[in-house]
Amino acid sequence: MADIKELLEGFTEVADHPKAELDRHIAAGKKVIGVGPYYVLEELVYAAGAIPFGVWGRVGTASKAREYFPPFYCSICQMTLEMGLNHELDKLSGIMLTALCDTLRGASQNFRVGVTQVPMIFVTQPQNRATEAGRQYAIDSYTELKTTVGEACDTIIDDDKLAEAIKLYNNWRAAMRTFLAEAAKHPALVSVAQRAAVVDAGYYMDKAEHLKKVEALNELLAAQPASTDGFKKVVLSGVYYDIPALTQILDENHFAVVADDIAKESRALQLQVSEEGDPTVALAEAFCKAGNDSILFDENKGHVAHVADLYKESGADGVVLLLAKFCDPEEFDAPHVAKACKDAGAPFVQIEIDQSTESYEQARTQLETFADIIG
């Protein structure tokens, strides 16, 4: 049986080389469907016998995409389009893009126009999710998507296969939540960079294969004594943090992520889909129940209090808000999150991040200072 180090190296290898993983799926005769952010119902893809493959931009500089976007567009959208325009996504049989923020709405349509070789499957979801009309809208949209995704994969998705996929994904999300909790207890064994790699590998690998490896890792971690001695315990908030220059700074300064409010991580992993009844309805209802996310409309702004609650419940020493540049939903919530953290007595730092940033020296200074304050 592989040990902790070997398993983490395996995840890092996949996370660092997504193209190799994509090629592996294609060589195995699988169709692959790209899935962008957020709450994309990957279960449909899996039920169609294809592999869902995460596409959340990548670290780099947009150049061709700048012809489609004004400069104040977030880097996830710019870099996703850049990847499409550079033919990095040509092996995909389609890409599912949502419109949960204004930026994504325009980005999805630019992708449709600019990257004609990769069919864009538009995922419409309601923002008013607490009403019966919103629930029905989600059900209608997901029912239509079941057909569209099936067509992209040259199949008809049947309910038994979809129910199987839902069960697998529920198990996977539960295992990932356990992993995040174990990683929080063992920062000397799982660095911040490795934590991000385990999550990222999950966006690229076959979920069944990833699940087995994560379960093996969880078992090994649980058998080790928990200790955060010598680490600065923080709650990470934001959309993503899988930028090598950033995780390196976090690791060099001995930060331990003891809880997160990251869209690519715990916000996405909160879903638990009912395994009873009509599986398409179950998927729609699970989305409607999701909360505590800047991108999901919530008149009570539960997301704001959630970050402060994570601080209190996790025993963290402080909160690090990684603010994605030009991200409206996060920027709207940021001052409220800062105030909620202040009211909770949480040391708080806000750092601007971007996939296209070339130097993280300013972030380094901020994080070093923050480490001194909470250390």
Q: Which residues bind to ligand SF4, rule: CB under 6 A?
A: 37, 74, 76-77, 101, 103-104, 239, 295, 324, 327-330
State the minimum distance, in angstroms, from the CB of residue 327 to ligand SF4: 3
Nearer to ligand SF4, 240 or 348 (CB): 240
CA–chain centroid gap for 199, Å, is: 8
As a whole number of Å, the end-to-end CA separation of the chain is: 37
Nearer to ligand SF4, 48 or 104 (CB): 104
Which residue is associated with the tokens 């419109």?
99
Distance of alpha carbon 80 from alpha carbon 72, whole angstroms: 15
State the minimum distance, in angstroms, from the CB of residue 19 to ligand SF4: 22
State the minimum distance, in angstroms, from the CB of residue 263 to ligand SF4: 7
Q: Which helix (H) or strand (E) holds 207?
A: helix 207-222
State the minimum distance, in angstroms, from the CB of residue 336 to ligand SF4: 16
Residue 161: count of CB within 10 angstroms of its CB: 18
State the minimum distance, in angstroms, from the CB of residue 364 to ligand SF4: 22
Phi, psi of 242 (to 5 degrees): -80, 60
- Burial-class residue 252 by CB neighbours within 10 Å (0-12, 13-18, 19+): middle
Nearer to ligand SF4, 105 or 185 (CB): 105
Nearer to ligand SF4, 8 or 295 (CB): 295
State the minimum distance, in angstroms, from the CB of residue 37 to ligand SF4: 6
Nearer to ligand SF4, 182 or 293 (CB): 293
The tally of CA atoms less than 13 A away on the side-chain side of residue 301 is 13
Nearer to ligand SF4, 94 or 329 (CB): 329
Distance of alpha carbon 242 from alpha carbon 191, whole angstroms: 12
Q: Which helix (H) or strand (E) holds 255?
A: strand 255-262
Q: Which helix (H) or strand (E) holds 352?
A: strand 348-353
